[in-house]
Amino acid sequence: MKLGRGPVLETLRRLWPLVALVAIVAAIAIVASFAPAVPQRRTTQALINLVAVVGLYVFVGNSGILSFGNVAFMAIGAYVSALLTMKSAAKSVFLPDLPQIIASAEWPALPGALAGGAVAAAVALVVGWPLMRLSGVSASIATFAVLVVGNVVFGNWTSVTGGQNSLMGLPAYVDLWTALGWAIAALVIAFAYQETRSALLLRASREDEAAAQASGVNVVLHRLRAFVVSAFLSGIAGVLLGHFLGIVRVENFYLDLTFLIVAMLLIGGRGSLTGAVAGTIVIALLTEGLREAEIGFQVGTTNIAAPAGTGDVILALLMLIIILFRPDGIAGGRELTWPFGRR
Amino acid sequence: MERLVQIVVDAVSVGSLYALTALGIGLIFGVMRLINFAHGELITLAAYTLLALSGMPVPVMIFGAVAVAVLLALLTERAAFRPLRNADPTTLLISSFAVSFFLQKLLILVVGSRLKGLDFLPALGRQTELFGVRLQLLQIVTIVVGIVLLVALTWFLKATRLGLHMRAAAEDFRMARVLGVRANNVIAVAFALSGLLAAAVSCLIVVQTGVVQPRMGLQLVIIAFVGTVIGGLGSLPGAALGGFLVGAGSILLQALLPPDLRAFREAFVFVAVVAILLFRPQGLIPARGLRERI
């Protein structure tokens, strides 16, 4: 029998982008597990970023609308999970005014994480219902408003979030394997979503909104679905970040993180899941290299180092170059294809 | 009564500031469907120019700020936006996002991220009495500058040849080109004007706050964006109105909300914005010619 025939291989061929991406991500994590503690932590951080980028991709890639608001959903996830899983003794010190139910909650990690994602998704459903009626750049600006409102609320709702003070003492349970598990779960969810009929219709509206509407596609509904799935994954990414650092600080969930996540997706290519993964890996490697350059290296007795902040400038410049010369990013809107012969 | 007048003057002056910012953004959107994040960096860099020139005579400082903002606007157009002129609006948006972050990070790299004090035109901070109400001179100056620039811009658009070209380009860019409007000229002039507006906003905001920092422009621009969206993207009167409403609304909320809710005023403003968009997704004054013909 020729390779590529038969129902099993047909299924494998269809699932190939997912299988290949999961294999790549898992391989990176396994290699990192043999490395010393510091590179291991950096890899964990990169895997968390991957969850965030994949979350952003679910909406941006399928709808064609750039969202700046997903970091607000990350913040929601981080705060919800923090409040549910922290020791109630710690909460009574930092947040004496919490409602009794939350103050006494000491949930295990997984339900806390799922609750973080679920609340983010629920907020997205409420917020998205009016916003998804907007199209194109108006919708992008509206998602920016979501980011700002989120920041204002979290920064000032002192009785629940601690306001400008940080929430400290989260159980720091996120290690390499937890992050890998969620990264794989995010890839599976994103892939499963983009194979649905709803996602296909949404991509039709991305290509030509008027034509899709004329063919009976309920654009607002499908956009809203993508937005909710995307917010769930972003919420999970926020949960992971909070429990990785052991601290939730409102300014960590604002413009700089938005820029990083958006840059990763756009450089990789916003049109495909492969692009999301590629962007995360490339930027993680680049950031690592630049971090070394900022620390500097020894030449004889003098230390030559790039000034601090060079990394950010180069990242912004790279994004500009990509958008000017290869607007569809590294992956160019394509998924990895079955490498063993044509159909 | 006196307090009421003070609140209204305050709201109108902040509203004018945001209207000017939103106009700068709206001008560019009108001619090339670009949401210009980098408008914020025009404001920021104009403010840093004031800082660099501090100690010089005031007209020199203002001239320097205007020159830097206009040149930077033209430079970003040439380097980052002209090559993408036929790209879709989302690509343009991404490009301006990247330009904005590039300039901001470059500025942080060169001057650091700490905020710096700058005592520019301290005389404007004085209280003054007008019709029996004590007001800050700056607020009146802001309102006057806002009105003057608005009138001048309207005159330019309605009464000059270049203004006519610009309105034609905003209505239907391809048709305007076919009829002999020079695209590069029109777009360059729009960017220069947006630079001028940015410099004006920059001077006013520096007098008001007395500090400069690398993020100042972006903060203003994010709120002005929302103004342009509720006003109706692509419509200049819409941008001015939307910017004004967002700015004035946040001041009115600051004055009218109970103290423990004041910190949330931006959230309230943006919720109001969402409510407006529910009923008028095209904005308050929808632009003609923006709706794509099929």
Say how far apart CA B119 and CA B123 lie, in whole Å.
Answer: 10
B219: CB partners within 8 A, 6+ apart: B40
The answer to whether A152 contacts B264, with C-beta atoms less than 8 Å apart, is: yes
Residue B205 has pLDDT above 50, yes or no: yes
Tokens 């993680």 -> residue = A284
Using CB atoms, which residue from B89, B91, B267 is nearest to A153?
B267
Return the residue in B88, B101, B223 with the most chain A beta carbons within 10 A, the one to mutate for interface testing.
Answer: B101
Report, as an integer, the average pLDDT of B177-190: 91
- What pLDDT sits at residue B292? 57
Strands B127-130 and B133-136, by their bridges, are: antiparallel
Contacts of B233 in chain A (CB under 8 A): 137-138
Confidence of residue B275 (pLDDT cuts 50, 70, 90): confident
Contacts of B263 in chain A (CB under 8 A): 152, 155-156
Q: Is B75 on the interface with A (CB under 8 A)?
A: no
Report, as an integer, the average pLDDT of A69-85: 96
Give residue limits of the domains in chain A: 7-250
Size of interface A-B (CB pairs under 8 A): 116
Report, as an integer, the average pLDDT of B175-185: 89
Report, as an integer, the average pLDDT of B204-231: 89
Chain B residue whose CA is closest to A307: B109
- What pLDDT sits at residue B63? 96
CA distance B133 to chain A (A): 33
Confidence of residue A2 (pLDDT cuts 50, 70, 90): low
The answer to whether B95 contacts A65, with C-beta atoms less than 8 Å apart, is: no
Chain B residue whose CA is closest to A323: B95
Q: Is A126 on the interface with B (CB under 8 A)?
A: no
Q: Is A134 on the interface with B (CB under 8 A)?
A: yes
| Rg of chain B in Å (alpha carbons) | 19
Residue B140 has pLDDT above 90, yes or no: no
Listed range (A130-144, A196-210, B66-80) with the worst mean pLDDT:
A130-144
**Token representation of residue A237:** 């990414």
Say how far apart CA B290 and CA A121 lie, in whole Å.
Answer: 33
- What pLDDT sits at residue B30? 84
Q: Is B270 on the interface with A (CB under 8 A)?
A: yes
The answer to whether A323 contacts B98, with C-beta atoms less than 8 Å apart, is: yes
- What pLDDT sits at residue B152? 94
Residue B273 has pLDDT above 80, yes or no: no
CA distance B126 to chain A (A): 31
A61: CB partners within 8 A, 6+ apart: A194, A265, A270, A271, A272, A273, A275, A276
Report, as an integer, the average pLDDT of A117-136: 92
The amino acid occupying position A89 is A
Q: Hey, is B24 helix, strand or coil?
A: helix
Q: What's the ipTM? A: 0.86
Residue B23 has pLDDT above 90, yes or no: yes
Instruction: Classify residue B188 as exposed, middle or buried by CB count within 10 Å of its CB (0-12, 13-18, 19+).
Output: middle
Confidence of residue A1 (pLDDT cuts 50, 70, 90): very low
**Token representation of residue A324:** 């000017």
- What pLDDT sits at residue B223? 87
CA distance B102 to chain A (A): 5
Residue A197 has pLDDT above 50, yes or no: yes
- Report CA A125 to chain centroid distance, whole Å: 18
Contacts of B106 in chain A (CB under 8 A): 313, 316
Q: Is B266 on the interface with A (CB under 8 A)?
A: yes
Report, as an integer, the average pLDDT of A281-298: 85
Q: Is B83 on the interface with A (CB under 8 A)?
A: yes
- Please check whether residue B233 is in contact with residue B10, taking contact to mean a CB–CB distance below 8 angstroms: no
- What pLDDT sits at residue A183? 97
CB atoms within 10 A of CB B56: 13
Identify which has the larger pLDDT, B135 or B148.
Answer: B148
Task: State the Cα angle at B57 between B55 and B59, rounded to 5°.
Answer: 130
- What pLDDT sits at residue A268? 94
Residue A342 has pLDDT above 70, yes or no: no
Identify which has the larger pLDDT, B288 or B225.
Answer: B225
Q: Is B261 on the interface with A (CB under 8 A)?
A: no
In the predicted model, what is the mean pLDDT of chain B? 88
CA distance A275 to chain B (A): 16
Using CB atoms, which residue from A64, A133, A137 is nearest to B281?
A133
The answer to whether A152 contacts B267, with C-beta atoms less than 8 Å apart, is: yes
Listed range (A184-188, B9-13, B132-136, B283-287) with the worst mean pLDDT:
B132-136
* Sign of the torsion formed by the C-alpha atoms of A286, A16, A67 and A240: negative
B202: CB partners within 8 A, 6+ apart: B42, B43, B44, B46, B47, B50, B65, B69, B217
**Which domains are present in chain B?**
2-279 (1.10.3470)
